[in-house]
Amino acid sequence: MEYLIVCPLALIAGLVDAVAGGGGLISLPAYFFAGLPPHAAIATNKLSSTMGTTVATVRYVLFGYMVKRFVIVGVACGLAGSAAGANLALVADSFALMVFMLVSLPFVAWMVFRTRDLNRFAERPLPPRRALALTGAIALAVGIYDGFYGPGTGTILMLLLTAVAHQGMREAAGTTKAINLATNVAALTVFLANGEVLVGLGLAAGAFNIVGNWIGASLFDKKGAAILRPIMLIVIALFALRLIFDLFAG
């Protein structure tokens, strides 16, 4: 029964994640619906999502979306931020952060809805050093958020890398995927070392997540902004529901 619940949703999550990020907002609840305890659900989801993200990252490399300097700085700062955020989560109350994110989401949705093409920011490119510094700052800040709370990290990265760092939409997608893959691998290593991962279920769900990521990467390459905006709005709506649930559950 767990496989019947998790695997189809893992496929959908992979498609969404490859296009706009935020696939975990779909796949993680699937593990909870299947009856897994929290630590096992999070850990097993990390296995399946890492498998799918690996495939999407490779495809984005082949598509030529990876800008080396952005990827190197983004991954380094994202990992540092994630480690800092995880430590911060041990001592801080997440309630204020969740309230802040929930209040901010309408503005984020408005910006996505209003901006018909996120590539328009790249029409006014920043000086190389400034773009690189902003990419590092964004990766560090979002990495802290990812380590502290996490949901919607890929979507937030996409928005900030395009709107603030003025990366092209496809370059921002490549940087986002590289950062996500690095943080996923780091977290998965910890979960595997502590025996929290249900490997059989994770591998099966990962196979479906790979298919979803493959389809999503192909759609993004062909459709670009036309498919990114509506899926990003869906992810934001799911993110709002997740925040509301976490606030009341807490």
What distance in Å separates the CA atoms of residue 92 and residue 3, rounded to the nearest whole number?
Answer: 36
Domain chopping of the chain, boundaries: 2-249
Measured CA to CA, the distance from residue 215 to residue 123 in angstroms comes to 28
- Cβ contacts of 154 within 8 Å, gap of 6 or more: 17, 20, 21, 22, 23, 176, 177, 180
Render pLDDT for 205-241 as a digit per residue (tens, 0 to 9).
Answer: 999 999 999 999 999 988 877 788 788 888 888 888 8
Residue 150: φ, ψ to 5°: 110, -50
Q: What tokens does 136 get?
A: 């590092």
| b/e burial code for range 45-67 (CB count within 10 A of at least 16 → b) | bbbbbbbbbbbbbebbeeeebbb
Q: In percent, how much of the chain has pLDDT > 90?
A: 43
Residue 228 has what pLDDT? Answer: 80
**pLDDT band at 152, cuts 50/70/90?**
confident
Closest residue by Cα to residue 28 from 190, 250, 241, 194: 241
CA within 13 Å, CB half, 81: 25
pLDDT value at residue 115: 66
Query: Any idea which of 25-39, 92-106, 202-216, 224-238 has the lowest mean pLDDT?
Result: 92-106
SS3 content of the chain, % helix, strand, coil (to 5): 85, 0, 15
- pTM: predicted TM-score of the whole model, two decimal places: 0.84
Residue 71 has pLDDT above 80, yes or no: yes
- Of residues 120 and 8, more confidence is placed in 8
- pLDDT of 87 reads 80
Residue 22: left if φ>0, alpha if ψ -120 to 50, beta else—which one? left
Given pLDDT bands bounded at 50, 70 and 90, which one contains residue 249?
confident
